[in-house]
Structure 1
Amino acid sequence: MPSTKKTLHFMSCALATAVSVGILGFGMSTSWAETSMLCETNGTAHIRLELFNGFLTRISCPLFGGVDNFEVTSTLSVTGNAPLILHILVVFFLALCMVCSAGSILIALYNSVSNPYETYMGPIGIYVCSSISACLSVLVLILFPINVSVTSMAEDLVATMVSAKPGEVDLREKSSEMMMGYFLVIPYTVLSLVAIALIYAYDHAAYTQRKEQQRPTEDAPKEIMMY
């Protein structure tokens, strides 16, 4: 059976990772960004984006207004350019984050009730899974705002929803704001790093203890070495 210290560290790691999964899961189901644009002379277009669905509110854009719901990926697939690729990457990275976090939880729980060797089922497994989760979530934090603010994602969505080709609708003065879903990726990243720190603290202490128990004979008293 593992020691109490080991059980506490690995159970804390599993708890931190489980909380991060809950936060990310909730974040993936809520709004990620809102974008507003001026359309033609006096019209406006307002888009609220989730990861999978979106909501477009038009006022005199281009001629009439309306409120439309749409699927983000299928709507972007009409144009099939960089915004679609970046959005698919964001969703794919988030899915990998969830998978890696699940692996980290399972490994942590396994270590809390057993003493496996230093393999992928030990601290190394948690280092790998949690590190991948943290790195991919940072990439999401970078790619998503680039896709929303820098690329023509919003313009393509509006043009597709009004059955026009990209560039046919005069859209300008785009302003974007990140929403709760996006910002919830940050605590997920932090908790993934916390999980790594908890296991590193235990692993370092265990390594130091093993070194102290394996001191070379030259550190022994000279009286003992004479016999």
Structure 2
Amino acid sequence: MPNQQKKILFCVAGVLSFACALGVVAALGTPRWMRATFLCTTGALLVNASGPELDKFTGEVHYGLFHGEGVRQCGLGARPFRFSFFPDLLPAVPVSVHINVLLFATMLAVLTMVVAGFFMYNAVGKPFETLHGPLGLYLLSFISGSCGCLVMILFASEVKIHHLSEKIANFKEGTFAYRTQSERYTTSFWVVFMCFFVHFLNGLLIRLAGFQFPFAKSKDAETTNVAADLMY
């Protein structure tokens, strides 16, 4: 591939990585990772509510990695509430899992920014070391993509396995009990997914620029090895 086209591909990959890094930084501070609805089972059972009447006992919550807000309803009107994970919900949430989500999300943002810089360096400069060259780009893209994958897996396990939404809804509620009805991932979670996808795409762009995948032997090298074997 001509050198000019390689520069264009690396510039595109660098811009995509930089945009992803900014997106992840913004996603870290927003309460738009998860939206859930929950039913006040205590109130619904007391009045034997069914059908449209259940709307009076259905609340919702949306939250991120640091804070969130929602509305509780138990037949007596809406009760808005706000919360923060640190320090309000520490007794209720799986702290180790949540901290790991924060850790890997921070690593994802930092490494994605480094990847963007390395792509730009390869586009406009003359890399002379392994870490600055294609192998370094493959390695950093793989590590960054792995961090993004871990963020999604850990957050999903916190929500689904540890029932995070239900614990938030029932936190400091001594009288009423709430049960989660529906959950869906929102904007910030999908930003992390897009960042993971961009790192996968970056690997394809590096290959498209004409650089072999790591540990993949070229045909010329294989031919040379075969010829050397025949000589001996």
TM-score > 0.5, shorter chain as reference: yes
Q: Distance in 2 between matches of 1:208 and 1:6?
A: 21
The equivalent of 2:24 in structure 1 is: 24
What residue identity is the alignment partner of 2:108?
C
With normalisation by structure 1, the TM-score equals 0.75
Note the C-alpha offset of 1:192: 0.9
Note the C-alpha offset of 1:78: 2.6
The equivalent of 1:193 in structure 2 is: 200
The equivalent of 1:145 in structure 2 is: 156
The 1:190/1:77 distance shift into structure 2, 3 A limit, reads same
CA RMSD of aligned residues (A): 3.2
Match of 2:211 among 192, 203, 206: 203
2:62–2:70 contact (8 Å) kept in structure 1: yes
Q: Distance in 2 between matches of 1:24 and 1:75?
A: 24
With normalisation by structure 2, the TM-score equals 0.74
Note the C-alpha offset of 1:133: 1.5
Q: Which SS does the other structure have where 1:75 is aligned? A: coil
The answer as to 2:70 corresponding to 1:56 is yes
Q: Distance in 1 between matches of 2:185 and 2:124?
A: 42
What residue identity is the alignment partner of 2:127?
P
What residue identity is the alignment partner of 2:115?
S
The answer as to 2:184 corresponding to 1:183 is no
Q: Distance in 1 between matches of 2:180 and 2:106?
A: 33
Q: Distance in 1 between matches of 2:78 and 2:124?
A: 61
Note the C-alpha offset of 1:131: 0.9
Q: Deviations over 1:103-142 (max 9, x none)?
A: 1111112222222234112122211221111112122222
The 1:164/1:118 distance shift into structure 2, 3 A limit, reads same
Q: Deviations over 1:18-69 (max 9, x none)?
A: 23223334444351111222221234442111222200211138x7752112
The answer as to 2:141 corresponding to 1:130 is yes
The 1:151/1:208 distance shift into structure 2, 3 A limit, reads closer
Q: Distance in 1 between matches of 2:160 and 2:106?
A: 23
Note the C-alpha offset of 1:17: 1.1
Q: Where do 5+ consecutive residues of structure 2 fail to align?
A: 45-56, 228-232
Q: Where do 5+ consecutive residues of structure 1 fail to align?
A: 219-227
Note the C-alpha offset of 1:177: 1.6
The equivalent of 1:36 in structure 2 is: 37
Q: Distance in 1 between matches of 2:197 and 2:165?
A: 30
Q: Distance in 2 between matches of 1:64 and 1:8?
A: 58
The equivalent of 2:60 in structure 1 is: 46
Note the C-alpha offset of 1:89: 1.8
The 5 Å alignment of 1:31-110 reads 31-39=32-40, 40-42=42-44, 43-60=57-74, 65-79=78-92, 81-82=93-94, 84-110=95-121
What residue identity is the alignment partner of 1:174?
Q
Q: Which SS does the other structure have where 1:204 is aligned? A: coil
1:149–1:176 contact (8 Å) kept in structure 2: no
